Chain A
Amino acid sequence: MREPEKRINLIKRRDFLKQGTLGIGSLALSQLLSRELRASNQQSRKSFLHHPPRAKNVIFLHMVGGPSQMDTFDPKPALDKWDGQALPEELTRGQKFAFITPEARVIKSPYDFKPRGQSGVVMSELFPHLATVADELTVIRSMRTNEINHGSGELFLHTGHGRMGRPTFGAWTSYGLGTENENLPAYVVLKDGLPVSGAPIWSSGFLSSRHQGVEFRKGKTPIHFLDNPEGVSTQERRAVIDAINGLNGQAHQYYRDPEIATRISQYELAYRMQTSVPDLVDINSEPEHVLKQYGLRDAQGAESGSDFARNCLLARRLVEDGVRFVQVFAKGWDHHANIYSALPNSVRKVDQACAGLISDLKQRGLLDDTLVIWGGEFGRTPMVQEHSAGTGELTAPGRDHHKECFTIWMAGGGVKGGLTYGTTDEFGFGIVENEVHVHDFHATCLHLLGIDHEKLTYRHQGRDYRLTDVHGKVVHDIIA
């Protein structure tokens, strides 16, 4: 078993500053926080923490592109009947579509759906592994967003606003709750491909840049510039840092600038990260049964599994070490064309890993504290798309973007298990009951983290901004 305490020398920054030979700890910290204190001078900083949290951490699995709800978690037998026909006009009138026309014909789902687990949560045959943890899931079929293209849709899902420039859910969480481990970023981003919006969907926006997501990249150097330059030994690096910090200490005596003290501690932390971070991302230190759980080893013990599976395991390790918010992006869910050969592949890359993550977290007692979220930036149309968006060429059938309803699921972190929430119409086109708008989703997630979404604000340009803007209601029905 790993021993995180041993592996990472957990010197808490506060302790370091207090114990530091310079004796300026409290001042340095106040300097660090000053910008935020200034911003929240109208409210006491923690007034938004008004109820006990159900979750301490979040793992947000974003299926980039938008999974098809009617092929995964929201069965629509009526589509068999409507297959090849246009939807009733009153349904599509005034609706925005990305590439198809409102008259496009309906296409049925070829998949078989069954209730799973004790609770009978329904999912399609594409998810044999996830079916084994069905009783942990809260499936929300009635999600709704404002945006129908990827750039804005991703931004809306992560920042509650369809344009660039706002802080993300992860950044707000870091701002609200801080970090549990000063030696690691509070907010880490893992991906197997780049979402179309790029860095703005892990940005801190107008919050301090300390809250932006830090990307852990695939490979031996998870963080940019983590490795010593070629030919520089650990011993030389140590000597250089000692010299830098020695000279900075001199400067501090002269200038008394608390920033210098902070910089000294950051160089120490950087040095520790150079060994702790590569250890942290080395999943080969996991026992074989765990690797198998995520599909990272096959029955014979040979390496297998997707980058996404690796990222799921990494997410668990990060959460275990006190990272507050782990954002995982999974590419390849934008099925405009050829959905029935592409979708099974997309699911195959995530099915076992998601199930593995949930059961692994549960076995370690971490699931209660960790909110796992799975979903895309929007859903897909019940109607077919048959032309390539780029060239107009005919393609094998796919489905277009759809914002009026889509499905996500959550697990752990204080949500009920084995629950299906919200109802869509017989086509999977619109919501009939219990709508959960993205703002409501954010309000609910923050609530689970012990945060009142109306009180977690930041004053910027004369306005108290919130993740939920002026909207959002907590969906108490899904909370255990």
Chain B
Amino acid sequence: MKNRWMYLLFGCFLLPAHFATSTTAVHAQPKSPSYNRDIRPILSGKCFKCHGPDSETREADFRLDRRESAIDADVIVPGKPVESWILDVVSSDDPDLRMPPKGDPLSSEEIALLRDWIKNGAKYEAHWAYQTPNLAKRPKVRNQQWPTSELDYYILNRLERANLKPAPKAEPAVLLRRLYLDLIGLPPSLEAVTAFEADPSPKKFKAHVERLLQSPRFGEKWATGWLDLARYADSNGYQHDDLRNMWPYRDWVVNALNDDMPFDQFTVEQLAGDLLPDPTHSQLIATGFNRNVPTNFSGGSKVPEVRADVLHDRVATTGAVWLGLTMECAQCHDHKFDDISQREYYQLYAYFNKAIPEFTQQGEGMFRKHFTGRDVVVYSSDAEQKKAQKLEEEIALEEKLIANLKALVGGDAIQSDFEDVVLLDFEGPDPFKNNTITRPAINSIEEDVPIDGGKFAAKTVAKPVTETKGFFGTGFSLPANDLSGSTEIRLWIKTDIASPFNLQIHNEGRRASVFEFSTMDTDPGKWTQIIAPLADFKKPQWSTGAVDWTRIRKFQITAFGNGPYDGKYIMLDNVAGATSSERALRLKQVAALREQLASLQVAAMTMQDDESPAETRIFKRGNYATLGVSVETGVLESLHPLDPEAPPNRLGLAKWLVDNNNPLTPRVVVNRIWGEIYGRGIVTTMEDFGMQGALPTHPDLLDWLAIRFVQDAWSLKSLIRTIVLSSTYQQSSSATEEKLEKDPQNEWYARGPRFRLPAELVRDNLLAVSGLLSEKMGGPVVYPVQPDGIWEEIPGADVNDYPTSTGEDRYRRGIYTVWRRGNPYPSMINFDVPNRSVCTVQRDRSNSPLQALTLLNDPVYVEMAEEFATVMKSWEGSDRDKVIRGFRVATARQPKEHEVEILMKLLEAQVSWFAVAQTLLNLDETITKS
């Protein structure tokens, strides 16, 4: 207490009035309260909910976020606190009168601030973050020796005013390790460390910076944070949590970061790459950003509902990633704190509502929805791409041969084989019982089918009460039948349902294969023959495995659409399969080749707009089923205007977001990069730059960085270079008692950053230290060892086996580990990875016993310790030399004598290099950026 009080005194005497913009508890109180700093937080927290931007919930018809309105209502009378009604109600003792009516009343300090502010004229200020960044004069500092970069002046000026001194420069080994972990997420080699210790000059440091910025590892490290924002994962989430192919998008991010793609272009390609003129393959893949949204394909969820969820997510993510604003509130009503009306929300929604339907419930397995949006074909590696090319050539050749055959035979003549014919009788109560009637087939089936129903009629009148919506169909069983020698199944159909149909082939249990056809174009009065090549049958998602063509137990015909139906006729002919012709054999061959090709191809999900997009209407109270007025695309009025030439689509939106006049995007981005390096943002609420967010600790620095970022052509690498070359960055992270007391959170940067590595880097770093790390980049996800049985439990999933990787794929960087939203990788969970179900701006950083158990006992980390032990043993020199070297590989720095003693004692007592290796891999310093 004493210290804090002393500190406040310092603040009052030493600091100019405009200093106290910090959000810490220890900020000094200047004379005249400022609206942004002192008043708005009070009004926003206690009053705006009922007297703010939301017109629906506004009470007493005035708003306190607008000066004129407050004055009109006599709530505030500038210069005259006594006449200002607000002061009466906030300080009233009468519970019926007192404002706010619910929650804690204003404190006496808050009331005093309000009074002072009104006395001084009740001046309002626009919210700081909505104002254009302003380049302040370079702040004055006393210690001219310390700054090496412009940004140091901003930091030092603040430190000097707080009477704090910067920490000494970090020792070279620690500094170099910090730099490596920040830039590439991997530790420096011991050779690099010792060389830098020999010459730790700024020139050498800068050379390391440049080399690391060019390293392909750079993109792998910096992608992680972006993938949190992009809610990147490899599964849909929700029921089944089925896997999807999103990794091409992940590789796009890694490559774009490695190429230092300017952030404005980085934005445009991800939000609207498909709308660029003649988009490249890569620009299409970039739009995977918005296909990352989790998608609820649970049985029973409704397509329009899922679509609304997906689009809401896209609006929310855009707001959080680029504007640092929370849009979600405005789904149901005008935002209560920020200037975002419900109408504006749906204008933004309209940009995304132009996309084509991206999933459907049509087709095989009505139970589940399926993605239908535009896919782009990619290959897992160059080798696979070459293989695919070869296959494509072979297919082309086969098709040419088939075309020639057709010309010779003269058309697609159909031979009737006088085999068994099956008629389906839908008329009885149980179609299963009476549906296996066979008789010799004849060429003209039509002649033999009575028109008014009867013995062989396959007719049913669907009773609306009993039929399940969306399904109509039946099946019939037959003794195990071997169709493996056949190439196609033929059936005759006569029906008045214009509908998609499934022909399902069932084995025992739930193994099935499905051929889809449609009666949309058939003549309702006529028998039509359908030919179903065996090669065109597909395994539906609900089937538990590929069908075994040697043991067919049941056929089933299913129509789907919206009933009720009346009078259906279906007849099957030649279900036992047709004889093989050369043409059929070749077709089968082509199908096999196509299957091989398909197995090499990965479909990357991308965005595509509809040529005639759906109208966007406001959802009343946020409910997708109750539609309000229609809105066009548009942006937030309180920010910079939209270029009138901008197209009314995502491309226009993307360009607006990275318009040089946007006050938010550059600030939000530089703050996030700063946060990744220092562990906290200049605006500590990195996810909220709105009215409820924290004020920047160093507003001028934030603006300087933002302006410079735009001037440097939105280069992230330049920004990172600027930060790491500063003296601020290069300080030792060792804290003094004084600093811990005055600035426990290191909010003023009087020492270097120190915090535990994120989950992926804990893995990467220890893989590198132990010597196991694979440098293989990109491609499909990998499956490092995880505890048994986790995926097996997922009910009804398409994939229940966890295909543990072999070879070097076991030792890839964490960014390549498969990310299944509902069933994430356990050791990463213990180190605070989010579940990537929504855009995550800031990860938690916990410190738990589960982390200790993971590093000590997870077979993955045990294997690393074993490897490290083997490596240490193999080194030359005494045990002591090996221990010292091991310590240095793990932490970079030279151990102190006492530290060596601890390790030597352990080695002697346990006679185990494994114990030494485990110890080194578990050190706080080893998993921490110091």
Contacts and interface: CB of A to CB of B under 8 A. Distances in A.
Q: Do A and B bind each other?
A: yes
A98 B824 CA distance: 28
A21 to B, nearest CB: 15
B372 interface: no
Contact of A263 (B472, B793, B924): B924
B508 to A, nearest CB: 14
Contacts of A389: 299-300, 366-367
Given A224-B787, A250-B899, A255-B735, A164 B294 contact: yes
Contact of A163 (B309, B432, B928): B309
B157 interface: no
Contact of B468 (A203, A387, A462): A387
A247 B902 contact: yes
Contacts of A104: 465-466, 468
A194 B740 contact: no
A260 B924 contact: yes
Contacts of B923: 244, 247-248, 251
A9 interface: no
A20 interface: no
B821 A387 contact: no
A244 B865 CA distance: 14
B835 A164 contact: yes
Interface in A11-57: 27, 30-32, 34-35, 38, 42-43, 47
B826 interface: yes
Interface in B220-239: 237-239
A100 to B, nearest CB: 6
A246 interface: yes
Interface string B888-930: 0000000010110011011001101011001100111100101
A367 interface: no
A332 B858 CA distance: 32
A43 B104 contact: yes
Interface stretch (A128-136, A225-233, A405-413, A421-429): A225-233
A225 B103 CA distance: 45
Given A34-B745, A149-B301, A200-B237, A239 B909 contact: yes
B886 interface: no
Interface string B41-66: 00001000000000000000000000
Contacts of A164: 237-238, 294, 821, 835, 837-838
Nearest to A267: B852
**For the side of the interface on A, what is the size category?**
35 or more
Contact of B918 (A209, A240, A259, A263): A240
Contacts of B467: 101
Interface in B752-787: 754-756, 787
Nearest to A454: B102
Interface in B803-860: 821-824, 826-827, 829-830, 832, 835, 837-838, 841, 844, 846-854, 856-859
A385 B823 CA distance: 31
B600 interface: no
Given A27-B744, A251-B925, A393-B556, A224 B851 contact: no
Contacts of A256: 734-737, 740
A447 B464 CA distance: 47
Interface string B466-487: 1111111111000000000000
A27 to B, nearest CB: 7
B542 A151 contact: no
Contacts of A393: 475, 556
Contacts of A100: 468-469
Contacts of B472: 392
B822 A197 contact: yes
Q: Which of A38, A204, A248, A251 has the most CB of B within 10 A?
A: A251
A237 interface: yes
Nearest to A459: B692
A434 interface: no
A100 B300 CA distance: 9
Contacts of B386: none
B835 A247 contact: no
B104 A47 contact: yes
A478 interface: no
Contacts of A462: 325-326, 337-338, 685, 687-688, 690-693
A152 B298 contact: yes
Nearest to B466: A105
B853 A96 contact: no
Interface string A259-286: 1101100110110011000000000000
B239 A229 contact: no
B141 interface: no
A236 interface: yes
B252 interface: no
Interface residues of B, number: 119
A150 B299 CA distance: 8
A247 B919 contact: yes
Given A105-B465, A151-B239, A248-B924, A35 B844 contact: yes
A197 B902 contact: no
Q: Which of A35, A225, A400 has the most CB of B within 10 A?
A: A225
Interface string A460-472: 1111000000000
Given A225-B853, A463-B326, A152 B301 contact: yes
Given A198-B823, A243-B906, A461-B320, A203 B835 contact: yes
B301 A151 contact: yes
B850 to A, nearest CB: 7
Given A103-B464, A148-B300, A266-B848, A199 B823 contact: yes
Given A256-B734, A259-B847, A390 B903 contact: no
A209 B734 contact: no
Nearest to A248: B924
A226 B925 contact: no
A199 B793 contact: no
A115 interface: no
Contact of A236 (B464, B470, B473, B915): B915
Contacts of B726: none
Given A165-B838, A269-B849, A391-B542, A101 B924 contact: no
Nearest to A242: B906
A394 interface: yes
A270 B850 CA distance: 7
Interface string B181-192: 000000000000
Contact of A198 (B298, B558, B821): B821
Contacts of B328: 461, 463
Contact of B793 (A86, A103, A193, A390): A193
A322 B239 CA distance: 33
Given A38-B684, A194-B793, 13 more contacts: A151-B301, A152-B301, A194-B823, A196-B822, A255-B754, A255-B930, A259-B755, A263-B924, A270-B853, A387-B471, A392-B471, A394-B432, A461-B320
5 contacts: A96-B302, A150-B299, A224-B854, A247-B903, A263-B852
Interface of A: 27, 30-32, 34-35, 38, 42-43, 47, 86, 96-101, 103-105, 148-152, 163-165, 193-194, 196-200, 203-204, 208-210, 212, 214, 223-229, 232, 236-237, 239-240, 242-244, 246-248, 250-251, 254-260, 262-263, 266-267, 269-270, 273-274, 331, 385-387, 389-394, 400-401, 454-455, 459-463
Nearest first, the 3 closest Cβ-Cβ pairs linking A and B are A198-B822, A98-B300, A164-B837
